Each structure stands twice: as C-alpha cells, then as structure tokens.
Amino acid sequence: MSKTYGSGCNSAPSSASARGRFPAGTLALARTNSGNQKIGDAATTYVEQRSCPSTCPFFDGGGCYAEEGRLGKVITAPLNRAAAEVTATPEDIARFEAAQIDGLKVVPAQPLRLHTVGDCKTDEAATIVAAAARKYGARGGGPVWTYTHAWRDVSRESWGEVHVLASCETADDIRMADERGYATSIVVEAFDKSSRYPRDGRTLLPCPAQTKPGVTCASCRLCMNTTRLRDEGLTIAFSIHGTELTKHRARLALNDPDNPNRRLSSRVLIPRVVESYLAAQGREPSTRELADAIGISVSSVSQMRRRLADEAADASAGALS
C-alpha cells in the first residue's frame, strides 16, 4: 500500500544510483548540469509523470521522448516507480520540485529548464514552481523556461516570470493557446525547411538545436524570450525525436490518435503481426515486412525477434526439465 506524501519525503538524492533507483517517495530531481546534449549548459528538473496531464497525446507510451532511451531508463522509469510508493497531489509534487530548485547550487546566469520530464497540471502547482523559479533568478540564476501540455487548464498568469510555451499539436491548438496568453510550440513529423516558414496560417520556426550543428538550448535561448516569440507571431517547431519506437508512436499520436494499438510495444506488436500474416497469407512476414507494418527500424525488429525466440526456447527448455 502506498504511503502519503509528507515532509519526510522532501529530500531527493542528488544523482541516480548505479542501479537507476531512487528512494521511495522521490517525486522530483534537480540537476545543476543537465547533462543533455540538446539542452546544453543549463540546470534542469525531472518530475514524476503523475504531474503530467493525461490529455497529452504522447503520455504513457504515446511517443513521449522522456519515456524511452537512456533518459527513460535512468531517470523517468525509476523516478515514476519511486514516486508511486506514496500518494501525492499535483501540489505535493510541485512543492517537492520547488524544494529541489531551492537546493540547487546556482551557477551565475545559468538558465534553468523546468521539466525535462514532467509538468504542472493545476494553477496552484504552477504557482508553487514559479515561486521557486523566481527565487532561483534572485539568487543569481539565469532565465527559466519550460513547455506545458496543461495550457488548457492552467492560466498563463500562474507561471509568473517563467518563459513557458504551450505544447501544441495542431494549428487550432496554437490559436487557442495564443488566446490564453501563451507563447507556443508544436511537434511536427518533419520540417519543411530549416528557417521560418508558414503552415496553416502560422509562422513556424524550427528549433535551431535540431537544425544547426553545435547549437543547444542554452546557447540559442529563443525559448527563453517568450515576449519576442509572441510579438513576432512565431511558433517554435520540434520534429519528433527519440528512439525508433518513440518516433513511431509520436507519428501515430499526431496522425492517428484513436488507433488502439499506438501505445503497444514491439514485443506485443510483432507476434500480432506474425499471427495476422499466418492467418491471411499462410506464412510468416519477413523482417522488412514487420518493420514496415510496425513502423520501426529493421534492426529493432531483428533484435526483438531474436529476444522473443530466445525467451521461447528458454521457456520450452524449462518445461522439459
């Protein structure tokens, strides 16, 4: 049974253990150095995913870059497991994150990226984190920026001085977020070009960290000037990124959000596709056919097929022993 969040849960470790585990009740982490190639020389926070609105199309296996790869394995998954040991409201989570920000050693003028994973999904939660961000600046830190999928429910005012961009998926989203006072960003399958360009009546500016070698968030700082973005009518565009499976899921989130299979893993999808081929064509599909059907790379399919075959062989040997 999970415990209830309280003051005794207020000290998260400064780094993950070698086994990628955190103490029960850890709800958020803060790092002076992001260690993230795209973010660059900036501090950042990671927050357990109950802080995220479930309406985010990428949430819970829907194509969130933070759920897969090294970030997912080392931070997101173990953080979610540790947090699940306690009952915590969005405001509890925000208070934990705020305490982590307050505990950061400030590098003069160093920017802070909130929520490399996580969000604030209530006005009170955003207000709590915004207050910590304000103190971070008062202690000599640089600008604080973030992105939110909770812009429909959380007022822009609740974020205070944080440079916050509404995370959007459609032109209608951008218009609604703009009306609510937010600067905007959007995820696209691919950029039309590397410089700003029109799409659906908006002006998109591809993220320079994705289009120009050597550029990081810390060196670019476009998202740390939301006043400029709004004044110039610019929406920052991000191309889908992450592992092959993450990108596949993100494409489905954008193009086929009602697809019942879009959150399934390759471990589940491969046997299903094989079964459908056997039923329809009387043969197993090739690795290329599987890759095309699932939307991930041939090498990823090959790896998973070998893993499934090894597991089946182990299970068979165990049954005979």
Per-residue pLDDT at 321: 64
Give one DSSP letter per residue of 85-115, joined into a string: TEE--HHHHHHHHHHHHHTSPPPTT--EEEE
In the block, residue with structure tokens 């969000």: 119
Model confidence at 3, pLDDT cuts 50, 70, 90, reads low
d(CA 286, CA 142): 53
Collapsed DSSP state (helix, strand, coil) of residue 317: helix
What mean pLDDT is predicted for residues 101-114?
97
Backbone dihedral region of 153: left (phi > 0), alpha (psi from -120 to 50 degrees) or beta?
Answer: alpha
- As assigned by CATH, the class of the 264-320 domain is mainly alpha
Collapsed DSSP state (helix, strand, coil) of residue 194: coil
Q: Domain boundaries in the chain?
A: 13-239, 264-320
Instruction: Tell me which H or E stretch contains 234.
Output: strand 234-239
Which of 81, 78, 88, 168 minimizes the C-alpha distance to 128?
88
Buried b / exposed e over 299-316, threshold 16 CB at 10 Å, is ebbeebbeeeeeeeeeee
Q: What is the pLDDT of residues 44-60, one digit of tens each?
A: 999 999 999 999 999 98
Per-residue pLDDT at 40: 94
Mean pLDDT estimate for the chain: 90
Output the six-digit token pair for 291. Answer: 């890759």
Q: What is the pLDDT of residues 210-250, one digit of tens each?
A: 999 999 999 999 999 999 999 999 999 999 988 888 888 89
What mean pLDDT is predicted for residues 294-307?
87
Are the C-beta atoms of 291 and 298 separated by less than 8 Å? yes
Are the C-beta atoms of 126 and 154 separated by less than 8 Å? yes
Whether residue 139 is predicted with pLDDT greater than 60 in this model: the reply is: yes
Strands 28-31 and 43-47: antiparallel
Amino acid letter, 319: A
Whether residue 83 is predicted with pLDDT greater than 70 in this model: the reply is: yes
Model confidence at 4, pLDDT cuts 50, 70, 90, reads low
Per-range mean pLDDT, top range of 7-16, 67-76, 83-92, 259-268: 83-92
N residues, the chain = 321
Least confident of 90-94, 150-154, 295-299: 295-299
Whether residue 303 is predicted with pLDDT greater than 70 in this model: the reply is: yes
